[in-house]
């Protein structure tokens, strides 16, 4: 089973995950919203702040995939998306996807109130 930790308070994130759930209800994916899965997040030893910043997915071997790597892991298990997985994994494309994802994730984090509240808790 693949465990996916996503920001369930982010409307964009939730819409995307709900779409994935709809197209692949039998995929070996366990969807864990960060706000409603605090215990699982703590047991996985993932900091809440890190999980809010970047998508995290743990594979069957217990290895974490973060950011674009998490999406690649998810897409491998979704119909049609496995082809995007191959494209994104290509040299050059992969690096560009990581750069774009990181910029977007930081922008999203900076502009969502619940992320900023969490950020200021640890300061």
Q: What is the pLDDT of residues 33-70, one digit of tens each?
A: 999 888 999 999 999 999 999 999 999 999 999 999 99
> What's the pLDDT band for 116 if we cut at 50, 70, 90?
confident
Q: Is 10 exposed, middle or buried (0-12, 13-18, 19+ CB in 10 A)?
A: buried
User: What is the domain extent for residue 51?
Assistant: 2-121
Number of domains in the chain: 1
Q: Which residues contact 44 (CB under 8 A, 6 or more apart)?
A: 3, 5, 56, 58, 64
The average confidence (pLDDT) of the chain is 92
């Amino acid at each position: 089973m693949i465990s996916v930790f996503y920001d369930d308070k982010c409307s964009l994130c939730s819409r995307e995950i709900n779409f994935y759930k709809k197209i692949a209800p039998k995929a070996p994916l366990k969807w864990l919203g960060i706000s409603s899965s605090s215990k699982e997040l703590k047991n996985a030893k993932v900091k809440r702040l890190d999980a809010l910043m970047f998508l995290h997915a743990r594979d069957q071997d217990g290895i974490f995939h973060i950011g674009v790597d998490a999406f690649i892991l998810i897409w491998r298990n979704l119909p049609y998306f496995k082809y995007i997985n191959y494209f994104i994994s290509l040299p050059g494309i992969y690096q560009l996807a990581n750069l774009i994802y990181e910029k977007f994730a930081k922008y999203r984090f900076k502009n969502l109130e619940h992320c900023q509240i969490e950020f200021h808790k640890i300061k």
